[in-house]
Amino acid sequence: MKPLTRKILVVLALVLVGLQFVRPALTTTNVAPDAIDVTALHPTSAEVKSILARACYDCHSDQTRYPWYAQVQPAGWWLASHVKDGRRHLNFSQFGTYSPDRAAHKIESLIEEVEEHEMPLRSYTWLHPDARLSDTEVKALVAWAKSIQSTLPPP
């Protein structure tokens, strides 16, 4: 191996090791849903609760289950950013804090994105194949969301 190549590899290895000491905050509560969770506020079947937990809650709730590789940087930074962005768009755990207009908009977006197979994201289902939704699960999730939508003012 050439001396320059060896130096570059050593520097790269040192940078990667150094990155392990700069960790993002991986926020999660790891507790059961409380009174402001969407499933506490709106009737939700066991089937839909299962779908939400398996395909949605890692990015769209305060009950994120981080995989082992979240402890390895820069993957941890990417995951923390991804979860923060997902919660910003929709946080099922905080659904009860949304105004009726905002809740209606969030449910409308959920219906649209699930029907168009935009959610869950392909980057998530690639690593979590159990999060892929069958046509039956899409219909069940959309029907549940539409039942919530019928109780809210139009967005």
Q: How far is CA 134 from the centre of its chain?
A: 18
Q: Is the pLDDT of residue 33 over 80?
A: no
Tokens of 56: 């949605």
Asked whether 9 and 41 are in contact (CB, 8 A), the reply is no
Tokens of 112: 């649209």
Ordered by start, the domain boundaries in the chain are 3-149
pLDDT in tens, 60-117: 999 888 878 777 787 777 788 889 999 999 999 999 999 999 999 999 999 999 999 9
Least Cα distance to 50 among 153, 154, 133 occurs for 133
Q: What is the pLDDT of residue 29?
A: 58
pLDDT, average across residues 16-33: 60
Helical ranges in 20-155 per DSSP H = 38-41, 46-55, 57-60, 75-89, 100-115, 122-127, 135-149
